[in-house]
Chains A and B, each alone.
Chain A
Amino acid sequence: MVFEKVTGILAGNLGIDASKITSESTFEDLGLDSLDTVDLLMSIEEEFGVSIEPSESLKTVGDVVNEIKKLGVNE
């Protein structure tokens, strides 16, 4: 599942408690600054083999999950 993998990356790279991450969590809530967000996107690109540009519209974990799904990745 895309959401679980994204949560796993957040937990693994940034030491965030996975149980506290929901679709609605914003990166700001999770304590990520703009460069942490880029790190996350780069890890996601590696994990899923997709290309995601940093964008103001990607504010929550759910936004990123949807973006990955839009690129044809469903698991």
Chain B
Amino acid sequence: MSFQIIGTGKKVPEFALSNEQLSTMVDTSDEWITSRTGIKNRYILQDETLSEIGGIAANRALEDAGIEAKDIDLIICSTIQGDYITPSLACMIQKEIGATCPAFDVNAACTGFIYALDIAASYFARGTVKKVLIVAAEAISRYADYQDRATCVLFGDAAGAVVLSSGDNLLSIKLTADGNNEFLTIGGHKGNFPLRDISNHNPYMYMNGQEVYKFAIGSICRDVTEVMEQAGIQNEDVKVILTHQANSRILEAAKSKLEIDGDKFVSIIDRYGNTSSASIPVMFDELKHDGKLVKGDIIVLSAFGGGLTTGAAVLRW
């Protein structure tokens, strides 16, 4: 017993930030960003909160599933950081939608949605839940370093949600973690205790793009091959492959190394940038609403991110 996805939803902030407008704030250009990342636009939180856009994505997923907030048995939120350290984002989304079930956050950076699916699968296996809401909501713009033109251009904010019901549509799943604070970190705030020296502390994002690129391509190829083998499916069985959207270059390199038809790889990076763990549920929502998924379709997921973490799964629609 695992689960099936019965509803999807998404919400991005109102403010769209084009490469052109970003070029007025940071020393960069549309040509530089487009050729190196494939990104043309991203959405950034201004006055809205992450709880609000997460709540809207969640309500849309509930409506899509045809159920109400009171029907949910568990809320799992994937985020590197909600609006508060406490309450968790999951508790804030519970408040937004008026649910009453247990709620908690999971932080596996850009891989968080696949970690959340694995956690949900174990609740279904234990038989203690009938409906689970997963919301992946990220506001990386709060932590990106807008003095670092190599990284700040990459990120956007977004929320994506899915409603799971008991079923048998998780065919295989794999998670990895490899503790590493050299390639990708966000330092966060260290408080104001007067006797703590924080003069060398960087609260913002640091990323070694070359190392992360290599890690990303290697992990997509390894994980996708492994979960497809586990699920016993062949390349031609795959309808779509949804990889975490970090950079179109990573996607192109993975396409050229995996022997799966390139057209099966979904790409939304041009419109949203890297939205961390929200990227996969946002793609699910777009595919579903564009009528591109038919019952029985085989979907491969793959993500990679800070931690360093990776995850992959094969799902049946």
**Considering residues A33, A35, A41, A42, which has the most beta carbons from chain B within 10 angstroms of its beta carbon?**
A35
In the assembled complex, the Cα of A56 lies from the Cα of B198 at a distance in Å of 28
With contact pairs A33-B36, A35-B36, A35-B249 given, residues A42 and B209 touching in the complex (Cβ less than 8 Å): no
Instruction: Tell me the B267-285 residues at the A interface (CB within 8 Å).
Output: none
Interface of B is mostly: helix
Task: Select A54's contact among B36, B211, B247, B249, beta carbons within 8 Å.
Answer: B211
- Indicate with 1 or 0, residue by residue over A18-49, a CB within 8 angstroms of chain B CB atoms: 00000000000000011101110110000000
Decide if A42 touches B214 in the complex (CB within 8 Å): yes
- Indicate with 1 or 0, residue by residue over B240-260, a CB within 8 angstroms of chain A CB atoms: 000000010100010000000
Instruction: Tell me the B217-263 residues at the A interface (CB within 8 Å).
Output: 217, 247, 249, 253
- B218: min CB distance to chain A, Å: 8
Give chain B residues whose Cβ lies under 8 Å from the Cβ of A35. 36, 209-210, 213, 247, 249
Give chain A residues whose Cβ lies under 8 Å from the Cβ of B209. 34-35
With CB as the reference atom, state the residue of chain A lying closest to B32: A33
Total count of chain B residues near the partner, CB < 8 A: 10
With contact pairs A33-B36, A35-B36, A35-B249 given, residues A42 and B217 touching in the complex (Cβ less than 8 Å): yes
Give chain B residues whose Cβ lies under 8 Å from the Cβ of A53. 211
- A47: min CB distance to chain B, Å: 14
- B164: min CB distance to chain A, Å: 36
Give chain B residues whose Cβ lies under 8 Å from the Cβ of A33. 36
How many residue pairs between the two chains, A and B, have CB atoms under 8 Å in the bound complex? 21
Decide if B217 touches A37 in the complex (CB within 8 Å): no
Decide if A38 touches B214 in the complex (CB within 8 Å): yes
- A20: min CB distance to chain B, Å: 21
Give chain A residues whose Cβ lies under 8 Å from the Cβ of B214. 38, 41-42, 54
Decide if B253 touches A54 in the complex (CB within 8 Å): no
Give chain B residues whose Cβ lies under 8 Å from the Cβ of A34. 209-210
With CB as the reference atom, state the residue of chain A lying closest to B257: A42
Give chain A residues whose Cβ lies under 8 Å from the Cβ of B36. 33, 35
With CB as the reference atom, state the residue of chain B lying closest to A54: B210
Give chain A residues whose Cβ lies under 8 Å from the Cβ of B217. 42
In the assembled complex, the Cα of A35 lies from the Cα of B247 at a distance in Å of 11
In the assembled complex, the Cα of A34 lies from the Cα of B150 at a distance in Å of 11
- A53: min CB distance to chain B, Å: 8
In the assembled complex, the Cα of A54 lies from the Cα of B208 at a distance in Å of 10
Give chain A residues whose Cβ lies under 8 Å from the Cβ of B249. 35
Give chain B residues whose Cβ lies under 8 Å from the Cβ of A37. 210
Chain A interface (Cβ < 8 Å from any Cβ of B): 33-35, 37-39, 41-42, 53-54
Q: Which 7 residue pairs spanning A and B have beta carbons closest together?
A: A54-B210, A38-B210, A38-B213, A35-B249, A35-B213, A38-B214, A34-B210
Known: A34-B210, A35-B36, A35-B247. 10 other contacts (CB 8 A): A33-B36, A34-B209, A35-B209, A35-B213, A37-B210, A38-B213, A39-B253, A53-B211, A54-B211, A54-B214
